[in-house]
Structures are given as structure tokens and as C-alpha cells.
Structure 1
Amino acid sequence: MAEESQCLYCRKVALTKELRRCKRCLGALYCNSDCQKQHWPSHRQLCADSDGWHDKYRGCRDGSMHNGRLELMTWEYTDPEGGTRMGWGNAFAEDVEDVKRQFEVDCRGKKHTFFKKRPQAFRWTCCGADGLMNSGCDHHGSGRKPCTCDYCCMGKPLPISIYRDHTGPRKGLNLRRGPDPRSINLAHAAVTTITRAAMHEFIA
């Protein structure tokens, strides 16, 4: 199935390949030049700050953009779900040396090349999402644009169990709990509440 994204200005959903990408930061996606021009006053600051190799990956499928940077994960942690020990490059402990070799030899120590081969080795500092996650930037109020996560749309803070989970990609980040007051959407909240209740019932 072809990947879809949203226009950063009008929020219209379309195939990612059919949207227009900002040529300066390579991250923002728009329906056309009109949407891009209309959004320029809001996009100007982030676009002007764009000077890293990761800028072209900032755009998310929901139309939001990451404000932080992609950081290579070099620390160890234990996966809370499976109890698996993870290490450098967000790799299984037993695979760390092979992953390091891939970075140093195959990619010649270049992060942009390594990201293409192993995006899960990186995390976004603005929200703690790993490089494979491209559904949105869940910053809960610290970003230039409203957070698009379900909790902020419902006007609720992150559950303590999620907020206190600082393992893996979120390790060392001082993230907000929310909610982002700019994000509250009663219509979206009603749908989300029903969907989450149905999912809980299905999982149970």
C-alpha cells in the first residue's frame, strides 16, 4: 500500500509522492505552491534553522514536523516488554559489534548513510520516537506546532506508566507530559475514546 501524508498547511491527505516538498529543509510537505506560500510565515523559523543531514526526514505522515534532531543511540537498556538487552545502535546486545562495524566500515562513519540502512538506531530528541516511527511528533506541548497525539487531542496528560518510561529511545530526555492546550479537539477526542475502548475490549 502506498504511503500517505498530510499537507502541513491545509491537512489534506494525499499520497506522499504526490505532495510538494520544501526544497530548503526537505521535510515539509504541501499540496501545491499555494499551500506552501500560505504556510511560509509559520514555517520560516524552522526552515531557517535547517542545517543538518536529518532535515529531509523531519516531515511526518500526519503533516507534523519534528523540531529536534536525529541522535544516534549509543547507550544500553533493557526492553521493558521482552526483557531483551539492547545496546549501541539500538541493537540486540549480541549484535552490537556487527552493527558498529556496519557503521564504521560499510558506512564509513557517516550518520546519514547509516540512517538509510538502520533508521531504528536513531531517535528524535523532540519526542523520543525512534527513526522508524514516522506517524507524528508526540512532543506534548514543546513543539512549534500543536502535538497530534491522541492524549493531547483529548486534553489529557500522558498516563504515568507511559510518562515514566524513560528506557530505550526516551532515555535521558526531559519530555513533557501534556496535554498541549493547542491540540484539544472534541470531535477527534470522541472518536479516539471510542476507538481506544474498542481496542481495549478486543485485546482483553
Structure 2
Amino acid sequence: MPSGANSECAICGKTSRETRPLKLKRCSGCRTRIYCDIDCQRVDWPSHKVTCKKKWHDKHRKCDDQSLHEGRLELITWTLPGLDVGWANVYLNEVDDLKHKFEVEFGGDEEKFFEYWPQGFRWTCCGLDGAITYGCDHHGTGKKPCTCDFCRMGQPLPDSIYKEVDPARHGLELPRGPDPRSFHAGHAALASQMRPLFGLP
């Protein structure tokens, strides 16, 4: 899903928990409006079609591994307790300068600011920051299989990753995986050998 714990159908208000085992669906045009089924989408279309359009971040959806982000790019505007980073994912002592640059030099234009500072944004489908281009770690919520190492190994995310406090994942209701469509014996063997060599969990 592209959104957090309060994801619900735009018409009837059903949440992802209420629609299980079926998943909430996104509008294929703007990728932000959410529905529980086609009937609710049809009811909403007469009013939604006025605002439904491609978003500036659509051209950034494609990842280096050919997967696609299905969420949206969102400017990080929060500070988490215990972390030394805040607005736009920068150190607290740099926030005022960068915010001033965003407002004055870029006129508050998020698209232009993204080109300058992609790590200040996060993808709502996977909680990866905008500077990471290697894939969408959605762990089973995307249209196509997740391409992360853990899903390919058939393993859920370890606590060290899943429970890590991270500005880009804050507030998102992300699954732990694994995506049952992703397991690949060859990738699993390679990842299990290579990750420890690079000090990865």
C-alpha cells in the first residue's frame, strides 16, 4: 500500500484490515486515491476525474532493477525522537538552511527540490528514501514480486531492519514479508553468501 496505518477506501471507509484477504486498490491514473473495489471507484469517478492526473514523481517510479514504485514521493517533514535528523532528512542544525533554500530558491516546488535533494523524500509504498534507486522493497504489496534479498530468500525482514527507527519509514504500515511470489533458489543462495561479506544482516 502507498500509505500508512489510516489507509482506507475513499468512498466507504473500509480499511485494509477489513477487506482482507482482498487488498485495497489504487486509482491507476494518479496512484494516490484508494478504493476497496471497482464499485466504489465507479461511484467516485465523476468527482475524482477532475483532479486525477499524473503526478510529477511518476517519471521517477522506475528502479534500477526494473521494478516500479507504486506509491508516491512524499517530502519528509517530521523529526523523530532520539534521531539527529529532521525536515528533509537532514541533520537538525542544517534544517533551517535547507528549508530556506526550498522556500526561496525553489519557490516551494517539490519537483525541483527533489532534483536537488532526493534523499529528503520517501516512497510511501516501501519506505525507501528518494535517493535509493535499486528497487521497491514492498514485501508483497506491489503488483509484481518484491525484488529485495529477503523476499528472494523467502525470509521475513529481521528485527534489526524491521524495527529500526527511520525517517523514511515513519508512519507507514509496511509488511515484513516475505513476498511468496519472490523466492528464487539462485538469488537466495547468492544473497545468503554475499550479505555477511558486506556486513549486512
Structure 2 counterpart of 1:115: 114
Taking the aligned partners of 1:180 and 1:136, their CA distance within structure 2 comes to 14
1:187 and 1:54, CA in 2 relative to 1: closer, same or farther beyond 3 A?
same
1:199 and 1:92, CA in 2 relative to 1: closer, same or farther beyond 3 A?
closer
Secondary structure of the residue aligned to 2:198 is: helix
How is 1:163-182 mapped onto 2 (pairs within 5 angstroms)?
A: 163-182=162-181
Taking the aligned partners of 1:139 and 1:159, their CA distance within structure 2 comes to 15
Structure 2 counterpart of 1:26: none
Secondary structure of the residue aligned to 2:168 is: helix
Structure 1 counterpart of 2:63: 60
Q: How big is each residue's C-alpha offset from its partner over 1:20-79, in whole Å with a ceiling of 9 and x where there is no partner? A: xxxxxxxxxxxxxxxxxxxxxxxxx9864461100000000001010000000000136x
TM-score (norm 1): 0.70
Specify the code of the residue in structure 2 equivalent to 1:110: D
Taking the aligned partners of 1:48 and 1:111, their CA distance within structure 2 comes to 20
Which has the bigger relative contact order, CA under 8 A and spacing at least 6?
A: 2
Structure 1 or 2: more helix by fraction: 1
1:114 and 1:192, CA in 2 relative to 1: closer, same or farther beyond 3 A?
same
Structure 2 counterpart of 1:138: 137
Structure 2 counterpart of 1:195: 194
**Percent identity between the aligned chains?**
50
Structure 2 counterpart of 1:129: 128
Question: Could you tell me how far 1:164 is from its partner in structure 2?
Answer: 1.3
Contact 1:128–1:170 under 8 Å retained in 2:
yes
Taking the aligned partners of 2:138 and 2:72, their CA distance within structure 1 comes to 13
Aligned residue among 64, 69, 90 for 2:72: 69
Contact 1:166–1:173 under 8 Å retained in 2:
no
Question: Could you tell me how far 1:193 is from its partner in structure 2?
Answer: 1.2
Structure 2 counterpart of 1:100: 99
CA RMSD, aligned part only?
Answer: 1.9
Taking the aligned partners of 2:173 and 2:118, their CA distance within structure 1 comes to 22
Say if 2:161 is the partner of 1:158.
no
Aligned residues: 153
**Stretches of structure 1 lacking an aligned partner (at least 5 in a row):** 1-44
How is 1:19-30 mapped onto 2 (pairs within 5 angstroms)?
A: none
Contact 1:139–1:176 under 8 Å retained in 2:
yes
